[in-house]
Chain A
Amino acid sequence: METAIIIEALELAAKVGVPAVQAAIAAFNKESVTLDDIKALKALVQPAESYFPANSASATKEA
């Protein structure tokens, strides 16, 4: 059973990255949340534009 859980966790880490899994575990570890925790959620997601480099090499056009 524990082996299956470890494999599942590894697969998850491969998909979303180790820091993301650590963050998820930290969130799951919280017994209770405060107002500050909820306010901090705002900083978790950045505007979509910020993920794309301004001068990308992409030049392919939509078919």
Chain B
Amino acid sequence: MNQKSAFSSQTVLALVVMAVAAVCRYFKLGLDDQTVNDIAYLAIQAACSVWAFFAHARAEASQPTALTFFGMALQLAPHVQKVADDLSKAAPSSPTPAEPVDPSQPTPAGATTPSIGATAGALLLCLAMGLGLTGCAAKGITADQDFATTSYKAMSTAGIAYDAAMQTAGVMYGKGQITDAQRDKIIAYGNAFRGAYMLSQTALEQYVKLGSTDATLQAQAVQALADMVGRLGELKGYVDDITTATQGGK
């Protein structure tokens, strides 16, 4: 990792953590220190994994380094979903104001909503992806080829993660470790991901076919990719929960 890429990644980390802190303050989530720390940690993981995709595409990171971060990316989605679920449960009944992360900033008034947790989780990923894309653009890289390549790598990664999760679920179902109801839910999550994945593929194909640097087409593809990552998080989180429960019950 050279000095320039290290600086870029540090900048991304700082921005993501600051954004999380701002979200927590703004919505007055009433989070305890541990939860805030968890969110910051996950934000760092998110930034690292997304940075790896784009840094490797720019030849700023070696393959093993990118692979290391890729491992973190695979682990990230279910944890984000878990924190998002915790926030969804905690937010409506939070009796205390949020723990200020930065005392120098005022805490604006704001009401919480039950969906804010899930929104925060999705926001982390979208923000990290957006920052990564912005970083590429800022470096003057040919937009279409770089975007197509990095998006292809992201989709390949997601497809592999989906396949691994579904194969695990299939084996567990075959052993009777997953109920029919759980199987139906996994199938629903899986098909939701597959739908988002196909939309991303179509958006990316359109983008490459037109050979375009059109910002609208690129924005559509980014949106589709972000949705796909969110769906993958739901699926992997659910399968991981079942796997953990099964292992704990033995």
**Chain A residues in contact with chain B, CB under 8 A?**
2, 4-5, 8-9, 11-12, 15-17, 20-21, 23-25, 27-33, 35, 37-39, 41-42, 44-49, 51-53, 56-62
Contact = CB atoms under 8 A, between A and B. Distances in A.
Contacts of A27: 152-153, 156-157
In the complex, which range does the number of interface residues on chain B fall in? 35 or more
Given A12-B70, A28-B67, A38 B181 contact: no
Q: Is the interface of B mostly helix, strand, loop or mixed?
A: helix
A53 B176 CA distance: 11
Q: Is the interface of A mostly helix, strand, loop or mixed?
A: helix
Contacts of B169: 51-52
Given A16-B164, A24-B70, A38 B157 contact: no
Given A48-B194, A52-B170, A52-B183, A23 B208 contact: no
Contacts of A2: 64
Nearest to A17: B164
Nearest to B186: A48
- The 3 A-B residue pairs with the shortest CB-CB distance, nearest first, are A48-B190, A62-B181, A44-B159
A11 B204 CA distance: 31
